Structure 1
């Protein structure tokens, strides 16, 4: 009989309601409990997941796939809360893992296993612990584990002999491609595909959000335009729609057709800029991330000192464990060609001396930059903290 050991996970507490609807929507987005309450149109998939968990398969490995914004992570969050009384639950975002050894260390920590040195020793202790417990290991951004460790990550499937493994990813092609490349025979697994929301479902979800934050004034035509255009552009990405709603509510507590059309127009432009940002070098992307962090820290800030930006880029580089030497000034000169920012030199007095300080002025707000960087997997954890 496997012994159950409860792993406590902190639930996010309800934030105090703010008078501004935009701020309240920000709070709602960070509140896992409220997100789960709004979960709709995934009852069939939830039933299939519960059936899989209850099945008697000797090895249990489930992949949950679907395009971005279709509710994969939210659905698993809901299920994890239901399983906590009967299983030890482990949740890992693979973006946290620089390699497979780090993945094992995170597992070990969440299992409350004593510290050990050496990958093989850690693996053996984890396996022995899993044999004694009913454990579900959920891995979000599952494909990233194979990007950083490739062949080594296939060892993960040996854990499915003693624990239920659930992977979350946008698609499953990477897994099949890697298995062919390394001639690895994948164990039997279930691939549950979440279909995109329909336009009608998206409209209902938007109305639920407006009700949640007590927005009573809205134009029904605006909701139709928002969901239809967003559906055609992103194919039912609910996160994209929520982003447009947030931006529409920045300055007013109502949703109008004019405001939605304006934000959709800006979103089209932002999407074009997002495509540009993905083509930049890593150094240039780090600089934009540094600018975003500084603008987010001080929303009244318009110009940024080159020295402040250099410090921030080095700080981010350290957090990401990147052994890179970035010539910030040179990269900024290259970024000017993309119409992302401008620079100027200002004379200042410092300790009785006249000095020349280089200033950077970005052509986008922190939120706009954050959106343009949002497709870069390597920055997701840092962007979530901004």
Structure 2
């Protein structure tokens, strides 16, 4: 895949996920990407997959441009970004000027892969936790793999409005409003006793620099996502570890205490783990499940791509429970949490 092809593919994906501005921006970059200069040379030097499942160069570049806008470093570019509506020619000129003028910033920014913490995925996590608690009514020991900034570890501070029916926190820091199709999850009250997460590059959403990185990868014409991220950051306090997810998970499974439900969660993260790590992680979890008891149960809640392209593109919601090794297919969800098709009726 060439960089031009990667820009076009990402433009189509973003437009399909409700961001016409990103579709416009990335199409402009596909057609007018500079072929000279240090940034162009750097991008041309990447090997392997440069698309969304690999280095994700289009989103690195778009995120850097958005960071220039959010940080106030490029007021000229900000005047062309939402809520303003710019013509293709004006946006083209502004973007090319910013890439040239702020090249040093862009060179530094694009060293790291895109990192988001899509808070709207917590709607699915909250619903899944209600099901897990219906089976094992114990305080939750919560572990997240690929936690990024840890915002989705804070879901007990959020509420869900499902077609006018609310569940979740009684005094929430934010309310998530996905398009909900299906029955509601069980009326339980998940209580988190302990929470922690792991990521190869954990971010601290309480610091300006890391919050800027999380915010910059949210799309400029979707301000509600930015508002939700900042609201979630206001209550963030989950401890995060930098490291390999499976290496971290092993000891955490071993020292899980009696009297708590150990709930492992991940959203659109497992699919990016190397196959060897997936195999090792699955074996660790299943081995711990085989030792689970009613006083020391284990739950594995995942929201990962199911590869279904026949209908709505999204992720499968799957909950495995031990003892008993029960697999519950809870439904499907949009990658950004815009909709949930709930199939579990209890």
Q: Shared topology, TM-score over 0.5?
A: no
Asked which structure has the greater CA Rg, the reply is 1
Q: Of Structure 1 and Structure 2, which has the larger fraction of its residues in strand? A: 2
